[in-house]
Amino acid sequence: MADVPVLVCTSGTLQGQVFHVPEGGLNLGRANENDIVILDDGVSRYHARLLYDGGSLWLQDAGSRNGVFVNGHRVTDHRALKVGDVVGLAEHTFAVRWQADLEDEPTDPRDDETTEAPVKESRKPWYWPF
């Protein structure tokens, strides 16, 4: 399997869920139209967008009120992401990983904390990326 970037939610109500980032990317926010719906009062209806194209992963703030953070630094426009980065939206944090790395990790059958989260089929982006 080719390397596919994933977001692993490490804190917040979605903690433990894994989200694949398909070619074309994902929309994140509180509105149901987003690919990843985050029900958190600190998250805007249309908070951020991840764009995955040609092996590069980018994060863009969609004009959110509370901002998007990478490794503790606010992203005001867009920023390239790499494996190991931590993305923060209000009370939620997401670790950027490779799908293949998750498959290589030893699993403990008693530890059912990480679950595969369904991602909605992407529609047209709700704004132009960059």
pLDDT tens digits, one per residue of 40-90 = 999 999 999 999 988 899 999 999 999 999 999 999 899 999 999 999 999
The percentage of residues in the chain with a pLDDT greater than 70, rounded to a whole number, is: 78
Torsion of CA 101, 2, 29, 15, to 10 degrees: -20
pTM: 0.78
Mean pLDDT of 22-39: 95
The percentage of residues in the chain with a pLDDT greater than 90, rounded to a whole number, is: 67
Query: Quick one: how far is CA 41 from the chain centroid?
Result: 17
Using pLDDT thresholds of 50, 70 and 90, give the confidence band for residue 102.
confident
Task: Report the Cα–Cα distance between both ends of the chain, in Å, rounded.
Answer: 29
Structural contact between residues 9 and 17, judged by C-beta atoms closer than 8 angstroms: yes
